[in-house]
Amino acid sequence: MSVIPVLNEGYVRLVDHMGSDLTVVNAARVSYAKQSMELSERDVKLIRFLAREGHTSPFRHAIVQFEIYAPLMVARQWWKYVVGSAHYEGTGDSLDAWNESSRRYITEEPVFYVPQADQWRSKPENSKQGSGDVISWELGDKHTEELMEYIELGLSKYEAALADGICAEQARLFLPAYGMYVRWYWTASVQSAAHFLSQRLEHDAQKEIQEYAKAILEHIKPLYPVSLEQLVQTEAIVK
């Protein structure tokens, strides 16, 4: 499946998917023992109705699965949607699945997200979270170099601990955490993916996770064009 690069070392890969807009339609029509063989304008109107009126269970029959490689700070924001999906979807049990690589078991070379000199952002003027404009190149260059030095120090101590026979699950304590890339599989319904997009494509979302949300949208919009268009509008996103 195709891979979309994100940030300097990250990516989003579509692993698998199940269903289509027609799946949504037929899940809704089963109440009347009816089925559509091809998506018609009548079916499109039904999808619009379902999204507009909040009848979301049919959208949970279409599923997408991704492999994602992202900094830990992005992964932990993302994880909230797995935890919260049971409450949001009203199912009593989450339809999302998340399996992440663990440095308890693997010791592959760590990779870190390091913003370039022109990628550091200032703090916002009127908010306690988020970011403002890009800072000067000179100041950004200073912090890029300092971050790289910090990472190198942590890596050297991590490798020294492993060389001394310290177990991987404890040696990882030396690694700078938030910028370290982690890899995981995320499986979600189209409704759950749309809810993620509704919040992480917004202008006030952290820029790094916005970039991943754009990659998710690029992957799945061709697969479920009508459903995504309607759910995106329902979630008050205009793109």
- DSSP code string of 171-201: HGGGS--TTBEEEEEEEEEHHHHHHHHHHHT
Which two tokens mark 64?
């997408």
pLDDT of residue 85: 57
Q: What is the pLDDT of residues 31-85, one digit of tens each?
A: 777 788 889 999 999 999 999 998 889 999 999 999 999 999 999 988 877 755 5
CB burial class (10 A; 0-12, 13-18, 19+) of residue 182?
Answer: buried
Measuring CA to CA, how many Å separate 128 from each of 8, 32, 123, 124? 27, 51, 8, 7
What's the pTM value of the predicted model, to 2 decimals?
0.87
Cβ-contact 70, 6 below 8 angstroms:
yes
pLDDT of residue 235: 44
Which two tokens mark 237?
């996103």
Q: Which helix (H) or strand (E) holds 53?
A: helix 41-53
> Which residues, in sequence order, are bridge partners of residue 65?
16, 187
Q: How many C-beta atoms surround the C-beta of residue 183 within 10 A?
A: 18
State how far the Cα of 175 lies from the Cα of 106, in Å rounded to an integer: 14
Q: What is the pLDDT of residues 173-232, one digit of tens each?
A: 999 989 999 999 999 999 999 989 988 998 888 999 999 999 999 999 999 999 999 998
Across the chain, what does the average pLDDT equal?
87
Every domain of the chain and the residues it spans: 3-105+180-234, 114-178
Residues marked active site are found at: 200
Does the structure show a pLDDT above 90 at 92? no
pLDDT of residue 34: 78
State how far the Cα of 36 lies from the Cα of 128, in Å rounded to an integer: 50
Q: Does domain 3-105+180-234 have CATH number 3.30.1360.170?
A: yes
Least confident among 68-77, 106-115, 153-162: 106-115
pLDDT of residue 121: 93
